């Protein structure tokens, strides 16, 4: 299993996730720094009012619940100067004013909180996030933040600590912020990533699920990295079932060929029935997720064994035209292509006779076979007509193949609505392979309401 996972490239996703983590933290924190600048305007007005009030009153912190605390008269001048500097964008000057304010004594808890909070804002604007973190932590230590302010300060400290790559502190502040309902969907992503980087897959998954739920509640698509983290953790644990589940989620989210390829390779590795294997290859082919020439070759051989040389020819020609066939496989591929082409030519000549025989037959099996042959010639209209006629007659031995081919015909004719409807009928079949059903159901989930198929 581990060799298969390495071959799929899952080991690289840990590095990808780390890179995405840093970028997400930075984006989220830039948004928060803008918020802090807006918050400054409001706090500036309230602090100025407090300073004026203290001119006629003793410089003390109000202790009852009917008044707001105010800064001491001793630092009113320096705080006022700092606010003006901050509003003018003169952050270094503001820090000098705040340093001067800190030299005055005695300072109340609210005085210290105000000085350190303004320092934190200034350091953020100067992109000195380590100093900003120290300032905000000093402000928090005063105990002077009101409850509604704690909601903001814990989220801010969480993001600053994450940006400063201090995972333990980021987790601590993130937990507190989340308890207060302060974390947003992107913050939850960061928590998941931090736990992943700390090699704690269990908690990474818990926070990842919270983030996914938050995005869905906001009617937004979850971040791809959340599923990548889950996938990496499942890979590290050699948990194939979990990997299949996460890859399915990634396919639904992105419909990327690389995820399809990895999912199908996992699903097919224990498949021993050739008919089911061919059904799996059809999904891989129709999702344009075949990335190895050996996949095309094996699919063509299976199609030949199933008496479908026309479709086998189509598969091999696509492989040759795409340039995917390796030099040491070209001779073998050409021989196989020539053999299939000869059989396909002979089969095509017999189409009128097969069509007439199928039309006379009261059972629908020959009609389905006729539709499969038409499919291999590229006559999708003829194929859908024949298979629909056969389904109407009944007595079809392999209904799953009939439904799949009819859906593929509809996709080729740019009729995704009917393709989805016919694939939905696979669920009612009692003897269909569970993995074949999973893959075709997933394929149906990824079909948009209007799309052209490339077969």
pLDDT above 90 covers a percentage of the chain that reads 74
pLDDT given for residue 105 in this prediction: 82
Span 403-434, pLDDT tens digits:
999 999 999 999 999 999 999 999 999 889 99
Q: What is the predicted pLDDT for the residue at 69?
A: 77
Q: Secondary structure of the chain: what % helix, strand, coil (to 5)?
A: 75, 0, 25
Question: Which residue in the block uniquely carries the two structure tokens 């707001």?
Answer: 68
DSSP conformation letters of 23-69:
HHHHHHHHHHHHHHHHHHHHHHHHHHHHHHHHHTS-S----STTS--
CA distances from 172 to 29, 48, 176, 222 (A): 17, 34, 6, 24
Q: Average pLDDT over the chain, rounded to whole? A: 85
In this predicted model, what pLDDT tens digit does every residue of 58-75 receive, in sequence order? 233 333 344 567 888 889
pLDDT score of 67? 58
Q: pLDDT tens-digit profile of 176-213?
A: 999 999 999 999 999 999 999 999 999 999 999 999 99
Residue 6: pLDDT over 60: no
Residue 5 in this model has a pLDDT that exceeds 80: no
Question: Cα separation of 333 and 229, whole Å?
Answer: 39
Q: Check whether 159 has a pLDDT greater than 50.
A: yes
Q: Could you give all domains of the chain from N- to C-terminal order, each with its CATH number?
A: 1-25+146-254 (1.25.40), 58-142 (1.25.40), 272-445 (1.25.40.10)
Q: Quote the CA–CA distance of 162 and 232 in Å, as a whole number.
A: 21
Structure confidence by residue, pLDDT tens digits, 81-108: 999 999 999 999 999 999 999 998 889 9
| Residue-level pLDDT at 71 | 85
pTM more than 0.85: no
Euclidean distance between CA atoms 314 and 302, whole angstroms: 13
Distance CA(114)–CA(98), nearest Å, equals 9
**pLDDT at res. 62:** 33
- Write out pLDDT tens, residues 319-364: 999 989 999 999 999 999 999 999 999 988 889 999 899 999 999 9
What is the pLDDT, as a whole number, of residue 455?
40
> Is the peptide bond prior to 106 cis by the omega test (within 30 degrees of 0)?
yes
Q: What DSSP character marks residue 380?
A: H
Structure tokens at 339: 């053999």
Sequence-separated (6 or more) residues with CB below 8 Å from residue 246? 227, 230, 231, 234
What's residue 41's pLDDT? 41
DSSP letters of 229-269?
HHHHHHHHTT-HHHHHHHHHHHHHHH--HHHHHHHHHHHHT
63 φ/ψ angles, rounded to the nearest 5 degrees: -105, -10
**DSSP H/E element including 94:** helix 91-102
Contact assessment for residue 409 and residue 383, using Cβ atoms and an 8 Å cutoff: yes
Are 405 and 430 spatial neighbours (Cβ–Cβ below 8 Å)? no
Is there a contact between 381 and 413 (Cβ–Cβ < 8 Å)? yes
- Residue 157: which of 207, 116, 197, 185 has the closest Cα? 116
Alpha-helical (H) ranges within 309-398 are 309-322, 327-349, 351-360, 365-377, 380-393
The predicted-structure confidence for 244-278, as pLDDT tens digits, reads as follows: 999 999 999 999 999 999 999 999 988 889 999 99
Please check the confidence at residue 9 and state whether its pLDDT lies above 90.
no
Q: At what angle do helices 365-377 and 309-322 cross, to 10 degrees?
A: 20
pLDDT at 61: 33
Tallying the residues shown for the chain, one arrives at 455
Taking only the tens place, the pLDDT of each residue in 96-149 is 999 999 998 889 999 999 999 999 999 999 999 999 999 999 999 999 999 889
Euclidean distance between CA atoms 243 and 224, whole angstroms: 15
11's tokens:
């080991």
pLDDT at 109: 94
Q: Is the CB of residue 224 less than 8 Å from the CB of residue 58?
A: no
Q: What is the pLDDT of residues 396-406, one digit of tens each?
A: 889 999 999 99
Both tokens assigned to 361: 């037959």
Residue 350 parent element (H or E) = none
Residues 269, 17, 259, 427, CA torsion sign: positive
């Amino acid at each position: 299993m581990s060799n298969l996972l390495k071959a799929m490239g899952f080991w690289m996703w840990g590095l990808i996730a780390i890179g995405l983590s840093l970028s997400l933290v930075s984006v989220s924190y830039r948004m928060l720094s803008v918020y802090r600048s807006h918050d400054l305007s409001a706090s500036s007005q309230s602090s100025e009012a407090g300073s004026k009030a203290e001119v006629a009153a003793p410089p003390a912190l109000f202790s009852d619940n009917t008044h707001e605390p105010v800064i001491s008269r001793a630092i009113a001048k320096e705080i006022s100067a700092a606010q003006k500097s901050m509003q003018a964008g003169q952050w270094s000057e503001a820090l000098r004013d705040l340093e001067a304010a800190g030299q005055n004594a005695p300072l109340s808890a609210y005085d210290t909180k105000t000085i350190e909070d303004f320092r934190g804002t200034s350091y953020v604007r100067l992109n000195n996030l380590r100093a900003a973190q120290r300032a905000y932590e000093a402000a928090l230590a005063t105990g002077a933040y009101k409850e509604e302010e704690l909601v903001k300060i814990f989220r801010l400290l969480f993001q600053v600590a994450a940006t400063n790559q201090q995972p333990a502190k980021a987790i601590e502040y993130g937990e507190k912020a989340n308890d207060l309902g302060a974390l947003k969907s992107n913050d939850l992503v960061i928590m998941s990533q931090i736990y992943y980087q700390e090699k704690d897959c269990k908690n990474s998954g818990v926070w990842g699920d919270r983030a996914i739920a938050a995005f869905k509640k906001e009617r937004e698509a979850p971040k791809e990295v959340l599923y990548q983290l889950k996938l990496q953790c499942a890979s590290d644990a050699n948990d194939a079932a979990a990997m299949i589940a996460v890859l399915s989620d990634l396919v639904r989210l992105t419909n990327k060929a690389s995820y399809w390829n990895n999912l199908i390779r996992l699903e097919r590795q224990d498949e021993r029935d050739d008919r089911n294997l061919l059904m799996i290859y059809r999904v891989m082919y129709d999702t344009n997720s075949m990335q190895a020439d050996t996949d095309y070759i094996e699919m063509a051989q299976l199609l030949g064994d199933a008496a479908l040389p026309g479709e086998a020819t189509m598969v091999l020609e696509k492989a040759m035209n795409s340039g995917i066939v390796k030099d040491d496989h070209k001779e073998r591929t050409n021989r196989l292509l020539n053999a299939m082409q000869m059989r396909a030519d002979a089969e095509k000549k017999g189409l009128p006779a097969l069509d007439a025989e199928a039309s006379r037959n009261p059972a629908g099996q020959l009609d389905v076979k006729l539709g499969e042959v038409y499919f291999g010639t590229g006559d999708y209209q003829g194929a859908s007509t024949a298979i629909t006629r056969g389904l109407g007659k009944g007595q079809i031995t392999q209904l799953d193949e009939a439904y799949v081919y009819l859906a593929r015909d509809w996709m080729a004719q740019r009729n995704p609505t009917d393709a989805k409807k016919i694939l939905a009928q696979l669920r009612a079949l009692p003897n269909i392979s569970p993995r074949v059903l999973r893959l075709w159901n997933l394929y149906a989930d990824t079909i948009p309401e209007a799309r052209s198929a490339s077969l």
